[in-house]
Amino acid sequence: MQITIGDITLDGVLYDTALAEEIKAYFPLTISMVGYGGREYYGGVDFYPENLEGGRKNFENGDITYCEAHHNMAIFYAQTDHPDLSVDVIPIGRVTSDLSVFDELDIRETITFSIAQ
């Protein structure tokens, strides 16, 4: 998978799960995302996935997740003093490139998820 933010291209992997396959059907998927808490970028999606197993209230750096409660996707890039989340997120993949680029981004970014060429 590729993650594109402006002229930055990151590599990632999509997990072999029903939810990841369901979301992949929408690729290329462009989402207006907002930085939050120095740990993540998140943004709403306009579809409602059905395969919602495996939610948890924590994250690993690099996780790409779907959140049913907030109807959004997120990229988590940095552990913080508060790694526990208030809602469940379901990992669908992860960024495999250097995550430090997220520290340099604007508060709002347009991020596109696509199949690697």
Taking only the tens place, the pLDDT of each residue in 7-42 is 999 999 999 999 999 999 999 999 999 999 999 999
Dmax (CA) for the chain in angstroms is 37
Over residues 56-73, mean pLDDT: 96
Domains of the chain in start order, with CATH, are: 2-114 (2.40.100.20)
Q: How many CB atoms lie within 10 A of CB 59?
A: 23
pLDDT tens sequence across 79-109:
987 778 999 999 999 999 999 999 999 999 9
Q: How many CB atoms lie within 10 A of CB 10?
A: 19
The verdict on pTM exceeding 0.85 is yes
- Which of 20, 72, 87 has the alpha carbon at shortest distance from 41? 72
Tokens 């995550």 identify what position? 99
